[in-house]
Amino acid sequence: MRPKPAAFDPPPNKSLSVVHATGLQEQEVWEIGKLTLGTQPGRDKIHGRADLPVKALVKRKLRAFLDDNPFKRHTSVVGWPKPEDADERKQQRKQICLELSLDPDVKLVLPESPVARSG
Amino acid sequence: MTTMEATFEGMPGLIAPARSTALSDPAKNIDKMLEKIREHLLSSYALSNAAEQALTELHEVLAEASREGWDGYGARPLNPLSYEFAISFLNALPTNAPFPEVSADTDGEVSFDWIFGERKALTVSIGPTGRCTFAWMLGQSTHRGTDWIDDEIPASIIFALGQLLRDTAAKAAN
């Protein structure tokens, strides 16, 4: 199984939110993940995560910087291509998301059971 | 898998209702026959199950991504027109094509993904104008493009899916 390409699709502000997970235990990573949960259907549980090394981003000319905002270890992935032509822009983004999804260095990690907000 | 794939390229979807401007009686009879075949195919458990699963997933994605900021980071809600074109896309898929995984893009488009294995996948985004933005990878080759869904799925996407299926079938046969 591979992470879906859409998992890497940056929001309209072109800054993809990720967590700097280096040095963390498995459980600590899932705990941080809980901070991103919502209440609407489909956003209230974590079914998996993609672990990607910075080199996978650098290879696509993307940059990751730790900003600790809105939570500690929050990291933004920026540098998404911005050609003027909208079709070209979307194409380039699709290609990068697909490449990240299939990159052998990017791992899909599934929890034993879906992770939900505790209490 | 190989026999399925052999008739794949250029074949219109049999699940899609017949689109015809036929006027003569023989042509109308052919349309009726096609409609019967379509109904028969849809009644087949395996086929209807796969098609229904994709449509159910699409509906779930719509429910999940129907609000502004559904991803927690300002994503646009899934555009109803993208949703409609996505349904047309699924209905027009060739009968022997596998159904995709469904997600929402943060710009409100619907994303369909076919992941066949390592470095072998196709992803297509369907926009509110029927624009299909796609990227696909087969081994060391990566391709991308833009096309529009009309009555049928763009030939460029059918071609990509055909290439990926052919490669998958060939590797399975070896």
pLDDT per residue over B32-64, tens digit each? Answer: 777 766 666 666 655 566 778 889 999 999 998
Mean pLDDT in residue range B10-26: 61
Q: Return the number of other C-beta atoms located less than 10 Å from residue A102's C-beta.
A: 20
Q: Are A90 and B133 in contact (CB under 8 A)?
A: yes
Residue B80: is the preceding peptide bond cis (ω within 30°)?
no
Q: Are B164 and B157 in contact (CB under 8 A)?
A: no
Handedness of CA B120, A114, B74, A28 (dihedral sign): negative
Distances (CA, A) of A17 to A63, A76, A116, B127: 12, 5, 19, 24
- Our CA-based measurement puts residue A36 at a distance from the nearest CA of chain B, in whole angstroms, of 7
ipTM of the complex: 0.89
Whether A11 sits inside 8 A of B73 (CB atoms) is yes
Whether B103 sits inside 8 A of A4 (CB atoms) is yes
How confident is the model over B96-145, as pLDDT tens digits? 889 999 999 999 999 999 999 989 999 999 999 999 999 999 999 999 99
Residue A88 has pLDDT above 50, yes or no: yes
Choice between B31 and A13, residue whose per-residue pLDDT is larger: A13
Distances (CA, A) of A98 to A40, A73, B46: 27, 25, 29
Residue B11 has pLDDT above 60, yes or no: no
Choice between B93 and B28, residue whose per-residue pLDDT is larger: B93
Q: Return the number of other C-beta atoms located less than 10 Å from residue B76's C-beta.
A: 19
Q: Are B15 and B41 in contact (CB under 8 A)?
A: yes
Which residue does chain A place closest to B57, by CA atoms? A42
Query: Of B149, B151, B127, nearest to B12 (Cα)?
Result: B151
